[in-house]
C-alpha cells in the first residue's frame, strides 16, 4: 500500500488546476445508462472512484472508451446494449455511490439488483430514502441475500417528500423519474450543485426537469432519452481543500477553475479565520497570514459542507483561540480527531462538537485515516507540522483527489509517495 511522506514547513505558492468534481461525475456516469448510445464526457477526474464506476458500467454491459482519458480527461460510454441489471457486492463495497445505478437500471430495464452498501467509516448512512422513492414510483423493492431487488413493469410519476435532505437519494430518484409516466414532484430535494449538474446533464439527454437547485424539483416523464456530450463542473471540495492548504501554510495559491458561487460558505468561514480570498476571472486566489479561531457547523448546501469539516479542523488546530466545530450531517465523522491529536493538536469531542484550541506547532507523526476527507485533513496538518509526517492508507485519498501530491509538490510542498512497510 502507498503512503505519503510530507516534510512540513513550506509555504505553498503558485497555481493549481482544479479537477472535475468526483461527486458530479459519478451520477452523470450512472445517468448514461438511461439513454442508449454513445455519450461523451469531458473534464472527468482521474480517480479510483471513477475507475470503479467505469468497471461497474462495464459489468452492466456498457462499453467504455478511455482512449482520451489519460491525457485530456475525456471518456466515451456506450450504453446501447445492457447485459445485466446486477451491481455486485465486490464493487459496491468499495464505493457506496454504486447505489446510483439503482434508479437508472430500474428506469431502463424495469429491474435492478444492487448490493446493499453496508458499513461506512463516517456513520450509518442508510439508503432507506432511495428505496422509499423507488417504491413511490411504483417499484416493488425487496432486500434479499444482501441485495436490493427492485422491479417495475412501468414506473409512474408521484409526489415524493424526502424526510431528510439526501444528495444521492435525490439524484437516484430523479434518474428513475425522468422516464416514469407522468409528473413527479420531489420535495425537500437536495440543493447541492452536484444535483443541479446531474439535472442539467439529464436535460441535455432530453429529460424534462424544472426546479433543480431549489427544494422542489418537478419532472415530467419522457419516453426516450438520447446520448449527450457533457463537461463535468470543477470540484468544489478539492478547491476548498486547496484554499485550506494556502491558509494553513501561510502561502498564496491561485486555484484555476474554482467557482466562488459553489464555495460561498467555505469562503465566508475562511475569511472570518483571517484568510484573504479574492475572486478572479480564472478562479480563486487565497493568501494565508495568521489564523484566528472561528466556529463552524456543517449543514446541507448552501451551508458549510460536511466534506470540508475535517480540513477546516486541521486549519483551526493552528489558529489563535478556541473554535467549536459541529457536525450535523453525519453522526460519526470525527475519525481524524485522534490522528490530529497524535500530531499535537488540542481537540476535545463533546457530543457532535469538536472543541479545538489552537496550538503554536504540530509535530510530524505516522497517521492514517479511514475516509477520504479525514485523510486530506492529515495531509494539511502534515504540511505545517515540524518534521516528517507519514500519511498511511492513502487509497482513500486516491479515491477522491486527483494527483494530490503532484499538485502540492508543484506549488512547493515537500511531499512524496512511498510504500508502506509490510507488517
Ligand atoms: N440519509 C438517510 N437515509 C437515506 C439517505 C441519507 O437517513 O436514504 C441520511 C444520511 O445518513 C446522512 C444524511 O441523510 O445523515 C445526508 O446524507 P446524503 O444522503 O446526502 O449523503 P450521500 O448522498 O450518501 C453525498 C456525497 C458525500 C457527502 C454527502 C453530504 C456523493 C457520491 N457523496 O453522500 O461525499 O458527504 O453527500 O454532502 O455525492 C465525499 O465525497 O467524501 C463524500 C462522503
Tens of pLDDT along the chain (423 residues) come to 899 999 999 999 999 999 999 999 999 999 999 999 999 999 999 999 999 999 999 999 999 999 989 889 999 999 999 999 999 999 999 999 999 999 999 999 999 999 998 767 777 789 999 999 999 999 999 999 999 999 999 999 999 999 999 999 999 999 999 999 999 999 999 999 999 999 999 999 999 999 999 999 999 999 999 999 999 999 999 999 999 999 999 999 999 999 999 999 999 999 999 999 999 999 999 999 899 999 999 999 999 999 999 999 999 999 999 999 999 999 889 999 999 999 999 999 999 999 999 999 999 999 998 899 999 999 999 999 999 999 999 999 999 999 999 999 999 999 999 998 877
Nearest atom in ligand 1 to the alpha carbon of residue 194 is 39
At residue 87, the pLDDT reads: 96
CA of 68 to the centre of ligand 1 (A): 31
Q: What are the grid coordinates assigned to 111, written together?
A: 429491474
Distance CA 172, CA 153 (A): 18
User: What mean pLDDT is reported for the chain?
Assistant: 96
Strands 216-220 and 208-210: antiparallel
Whose Cα sits closest to atom 24 in ligand 1? 168
What's the gap in Å between 162 CA and the centre of ligand 1? 13
Beta bridge partners of 208: 220
Distance CA 228, CA 332 (A): 39
Which residue's CA lies nearest to atom 6 of ligand 1? 166
* Closest protein CA for atom 35 of ligand 1: 307
**372 CA → ligand 1 middle, Å:** 14
Atom from ligand 1 closest to the CA of residue 400: 41
pLDDT of residue 118: 72
How is the beta sheet containing 38-42 ordered, strand by strand?
63-65, 75-78, 38-42, 229-231
**CA gap 328, 297 in Å, rounded:** 7
Q: Whose CA is nearest to atom 19 of ligand 1?
A: 166
Of 40, 82, 120, 203, the catalytic one is 120
Residue nearest to atom 37 of ligand 1 (CA): 167
- A 10 A CB-CB count for 247 gives 30
| Strand 38-42 versus strand 229-231 pairing type | parallel
- Which pLDDT does position 119 carry in this prediction? 67
Give the C-alpha separation, 411 to 251, whole Å: 9
H-helix segments, 210-301? 236-249, 264-272
Q: How far is CA 58 from CA 34, 64, 202, in A?
A: 15, 7, 21
Instruction: List, as own/partner pairs, every contact residues 57-63 make where C-beta atoms lie below 8 angstroms and the sequence separation is at least 24, other chains included.
Output: 57/29, 57/30, 57/32, 57/33, 57/101, 59/84, 59/86, 59/87, 59/88, 59/91, 60/33, 60/84, 60/85, 60/86, 60/87, 60/101, 60/105, 62/32, 62/33
Contact between 100 and 115 under an 8 Å Cβ cutoff? The reply is: no
* CA-proximal residue: ligand 1, atom 17 (nearest): 166
The residue contributing the CA closest to ligand 1 atom 5 is 127
160 with 103: CB under 8 angstroms?
A: no
Index of the ligand 1 atom closest to the CA of residue 331: 15
Say if CB 343 and CB 385 are below 8 A apart.
Answer: yes
Cβ atoms 288, 251 nearer than 8 A? yes
The pLDDT tens digits for 227-284 are 999 999 999 999 999 999 999 999 999 999 999 999 999 999 999 999 999 999 999 9
Residue 171 CA: nearest ligand 1 atom is 23
Ligand 1 residue neighbourhood (C-beta within 6 Å): 23, 26, 97, 123-130, 164, 166-169, 194, 306-307, 329-330, 372-373, 400
* Grid cell in block for residue 404: 494530490
CA of 89 to the centre of ligand 1 (A): 19
The best mutation among 26, 171, 329 to test binding of ligand 1, ranked by most ligand atoms within 8 Å of the C-beta, falls on 329
Grid coordinates representing 334? 470525527
Contact, 142 vs 112, CB < 8 A?
Answer: no
Q: Is 317 a catalytic residue?
A: no
400 CA to centre of ligand 1 in angstroms: 15
Kindly state the cell numbers that stand for 323.
473554535
For residue 183, is it left (φ>0), alpha (ψ between -120 and 50) or beta?
beta
Partners of 368 in beta bridges: 392
Ligand 1 centroid to 126 CA: how many Å?
A: 9
**Which atom of ligand 1 lies closest to the CA of 301?**
38
Which three cell numbers, joined as nine digits, stand for 13? Answer: 505558492
CA distance linking residue 370 with residue 395, whole number of Å: 10
CA–CA dist 19, 23 (Å, integer): 12
CA of 414 to the centre of ligand 1 (A): 34
Strand partners, 277: 286
Sign of CA dihedral 160, 166, 172, 175: positive
- Rounded Cα distance between 200 and 202, Å, is 5
Q: How far is the CA of 125 from the centre of ligand 1 (A)?
A: 7
Q: At what angle do helices 309-316 and 264-272 cross, to 10 degrees?
A: 10
CA 423 from chain centre, in angstroms, equals: 31
Point out the ligand 1 atom lying closest to the alpha carbon of residue 100. 32
Q: To test the ligand 1 pocket, which listed residue (143, 164, 303, 306) has its Cβ within 8 A of the most ligand atoms?
A: 164
Q: Looking up cell 480570498, which residue turns up?
A: 277
Residue nearest to atom 33 of ligand 1 (CA): 23
What pTM was estimated for this model as a whole?
A: 0.98
**Mutation probe of ligand 1 site: the residue of 168, 172, 235, 236 with most atoms within 8 A of C-beta:** 168
Amino acid at each position: 500500500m502507498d503512503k505519503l511522506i510530507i516534510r512540513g514547513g513550506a509555504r505553498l505558492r503558485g497555481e493549481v488546476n482544479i479537477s472535475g468534481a468526483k461527486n458530479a461525475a459519478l451520477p452523470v456516469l450512472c445517468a448514461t445508462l438511461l439513454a442508449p448510445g454513445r455519450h461523451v464526457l469531458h473534464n472527468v477526474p482521474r480517480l479510483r472512484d471513477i475507475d470503479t464506476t467505469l468497471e461497474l458500467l462495464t459489468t452492466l454491459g456498457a462499453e467504455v472508451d478511455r482512449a482520451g482519458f489519460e491525457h485530456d480527461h475525456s471518456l466515451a460510454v456506450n450504453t446501447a446494449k445492457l447485459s445485466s441489471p446486477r451491481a455486485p457486492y465486490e464493487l459496491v463495497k468499495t464505493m457506496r455511490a454504486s447505489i446510483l445505478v439503482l434508479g437508472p437500471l430500474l428506469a431502463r430495464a424495469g429491474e435492478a439488483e444492487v448490493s446493499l452498501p453496508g458499513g461506512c467509516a463516517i456513520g450509518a448512512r442508510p439508503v432507506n430514502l432511495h428505496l422509499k422513492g423507488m417504491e413511490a414510483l411504483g417499484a416493488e423493492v425487496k432486500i434479499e441475500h444482501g441485495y436490493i431487488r427492485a422491479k417495475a413493469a412501468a414506473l409512474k410519476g408521484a409526489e415524493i417528500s424526502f424526510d431528510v435532505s439526501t444528495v444521492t437519494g435525490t439524484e437516484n430518484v430523479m434518474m428513475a423519474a425522468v422516464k416514469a409516466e407522468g409528473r413527479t414532484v420531489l420535495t425537500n430535494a437536495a440543493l447541492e450543485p452536484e444535483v443541479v449538474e446531474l439535472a442539467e446533464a439529464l436535460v441535455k439527454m432530453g429529460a424534462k426537469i424544472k426546479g433543480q437547485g431549489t427544494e422542489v424539483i418537478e419532472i415530467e416523464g419522457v419516453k426516450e432519452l438520447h446520448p449527450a456530450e457533457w463537461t463535468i463542473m470543477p470540484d468544489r471540495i478539492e478547491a476548498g481543500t486547496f484554499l485550506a492548504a494556502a491558509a494553513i501554510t501561510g502561502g498564496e495559491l491561485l486555484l484555476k477553475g474554482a467557482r466562488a458561487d459553489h464555495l460561498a460558505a467555505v469562503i465566508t468561514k475562511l475569511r472570518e479565520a483571517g484568510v484573504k480570498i479574492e475572486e478572479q476571472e480564472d478562479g480563486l486566489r487565497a493568501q494565508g497570514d495568521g489564523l484566528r479561531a472561528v466556529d463552524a457547523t456543517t449543514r446541507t448546501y448552501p451551508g458549510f459542507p460536511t466534506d470540508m469539516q475535517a480540513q477546516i479542523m486541521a486549519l483551526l488546530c493552528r489558529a489563535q483561540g478556541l473554535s467549536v466545530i459541529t457536525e450535523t450531517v453525519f453522526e460519526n465523522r470525527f475519525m481524524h480527531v485522534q490522528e490530529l491529536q497524535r500530531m499535537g493538536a488540542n481537540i476535545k469531542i463533546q457530543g457532535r462538537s469538536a472543541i479545538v484550541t489552537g496550538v503554536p506547532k504540530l509535530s510530524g507523526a505516522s497517521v492514517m485515516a479511514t475516509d477520504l476527507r479525514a485523510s486530506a485533513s492529515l495531509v494539511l496538518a502534515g504540511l505545517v507540522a515540524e518534521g516528517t509526517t507519514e500519511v498511511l492508507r492513502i487509497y482513500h485519498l486516491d479515491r477522491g483527489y486527483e494527483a494530490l501530491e503532484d499538485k502540492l509538490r508543484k506549488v512547493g510542498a515537500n511531499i512524496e509517495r512511498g510504500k508502506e512497510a509490510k507488517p
